[in-house]
Structure 1
Amino acid sequence: MGRGPSIEARKNATDAQRGKVFTKLIREIGVAARAGGGDPANNPRLRTAMDKALAANMSKDVMERAVKKATGELEGVEYEEVRYEGYAPGGVAVIVDCLTDNRVRTVADVRHAFSKNGGNMGTEGSVAFMFKRLGVLSYEGGDEERITEAAIEAGADDIVAYPEDGAIDVLTTPESFEAVKQAMSAAGLAPGYAEVGFRADNDVAVSGDTALQVKKMLAMLEDLDDVQNVWSNADLGDAG
């Protein structure tokens, strides 16, 4: 029986992944600060980005430098938001949100990920109509009744429970997301994950080799430095 990776190799891989996560979070903090100002108390998008960074154990010093670069107090790179849409194998719709300082590089990388895995990029709006933009507060477990009561009181739109693993999602409009998140946290129910993003109106079930190909394509897109989020309507079944 062969030996697995050494402790050093595993640590290096973990550090590399952590660095990639930090890079994406720093870009999001910078864009949010440039768009809405460097004070998180008056900038909900920045506050959400900083909460995600804190959850990933990013230091406040690193976050503050990102804000200062974005607001001109320190020299930094300016990133712009770009969205690409397309289809993965099996008719799966995909939205790719990017932050980039070089559109030519980014579109080439995204197109390569689509084409290499049997997908194809579409025009703007070609799949977005299949998704709704909403806020999601996710709980890995907990008292469903308590979470539901608190969510209704906080003004959430819907609560979705997943009996198979005990997870619970609280859904909000993008506009009420921050208020609901604060109310839930004040009730002692801080979510494990919270973000405004896209959710498909209907999932597309794929299986076998097609599901594996879709999974590979989504992972390749998510691994790109310029990609912040990948949304799809894929129901991967056991391949997920």
Structure 2
Amino acid sequence: MGRGPSIEARKNAVDAQRGKIFTKIIREIGVAARAGGGDPAGNPRLRAAIDKGLSVNMSKDVIERAIKKATGELEGVEYEQIRYEGYAPGGVAVIVDCLTDNRVRTVADVRHAFGKFGGNLGTEGSVAFMFRKLGVLSYGPGADEDRITEAAIEAGADDVVIYPEDGAIDVVTSPEAFNDVKDAMVAAGLAPEIAEVTMRADNDVAVGGDTAQQVAKLLAWLQELDDVQDVYSNAESGDW
């Protein structure tokens, strides 16, 4: 039986993944600050990006540097927001949100990924109409359903979704109310495990077997691309 990777190799892999996450968040902080100003109190998108950075132990110095580069206090690179839409195998709709300093490189990488795993890149608007932008605060199995539901309603959430199979709970908000609802839930002693503004499909597409594996590989490949910030799909599968 062969030996697994060394401790050093595993540490290097973890460090590399952490670096990739940091890069994506720093780009998001920069674009948010450039678009809406460097004060998170008046820029909900920037505040959400900062919270995401703090959640992965990004230092405040790194965050402040990213904001200063975006607002012109320090020299930095300007990134462009681009959204690509397409289909994975099985008719699964996919949205790929990118931040890039080289549009030609990014579209080539995204198109290659779709082609490699049996999908195809579509035109603007070809699948976006199937998704809604919303805020989601997620609580794991065993969460206090009554307390969360009561606090969420009082905070102005749009919906509370309870998953009977394991007791997990999602509190759903509009993007505009996300920060206020999150603050209220935290103040009530109900900090979510995950809190994000995301895209969710109105209807999921069930896939299985080899098709599900191809879809999973495509989504994972896209997530690993340096210029890709977020990947959304309407795939529903028990095979991954």
Question: Could you say which TM-score interval applies, normalised by the shorter chain?
Answer: over 0.9
Which deviates more from structure 2 when the two are superposed, residues 67-76 or residues 39-48? 39-48
Name the counterpart of 2:18. 18
Structure 1 residue 38 and structure 2 residue 11: aligned? no
Q: How does 1:159-238 map to 2 (within 5 A)?
A: 159-237=160-238
2: CA distance, partners of 1:156 / 1:35: 27
Name the counterpart of 1:158. 159
Q: How far did residue 215 of structure 1 move?
A: 0.1
1:74 alignment partner, SS class: coil
Q: How far did residue 208 of structure 1 move?
A: 0.4
1: CA distance, partners of 2:109 / 2:19: 20
Q: How far did residue 165 of structure 1 move?
A: 3.2
Verify the 8 A CA contact 1:140 1:168 in the aligned structure 2.
Answer: yes
Query: Which AA in structure 1 matches 2:30?
Result: G
Which consecutive segments of 4 or more residues in structure 1 shift more than 4 A? none
2: CA distance, partners of 1:234 / 1:33: 33
Name the counterpart of 2:93. 93
Name the counterpart of 1:49. 49
1:197 alignment partner, SS class: strand
2: CA distance, partners of 1:173 / 1:120: 31
1: CA distance, partners of 2:145 / 2:74: 46
1:133 alignment partner, SS class: strand
1:41 alignment partner, SS class: helix
Q: Provide the identity percentage.
A: 80
Which deviates more from structure 2 when the two are superposed, residues 155-164 or residues 203-212? 155-164
CA-based RMSD of the aligned residues comes to 0.9
Unaligned 5+ runs, structure 2: none
- The alignment's TM-score, normalised by the length of structure 1, stands at 0.97
2: CA distance, partners of 1:100 / 1:164: 40
Query: Which AA in structure 2 matches 1:49?
Result: A
Q: How does 1:71-150 map to 2 (within 5 A)?
A: 71-141=71-141, 142-150=143-151
2: CA distance, partners of 1:47 / 1:175: 12
- The alignment's TM-score, normalised by the length of structure 2, stands at 0.97
Verify the 8 A CA contact 1:215 1:236 in the aligned structure 2.
Answer: no
Q: How far did residue 131 of structure 1 move?
A: 0.8
Unaligned 5+ runs, structure 1: none
Q: How far did residue 79 of structure 1 move?
A: 0.5
Q: How far did residue 202 of structure 1 move?
A: 0.7
2: CA distance, partners of 1:51 / 1:164: 30
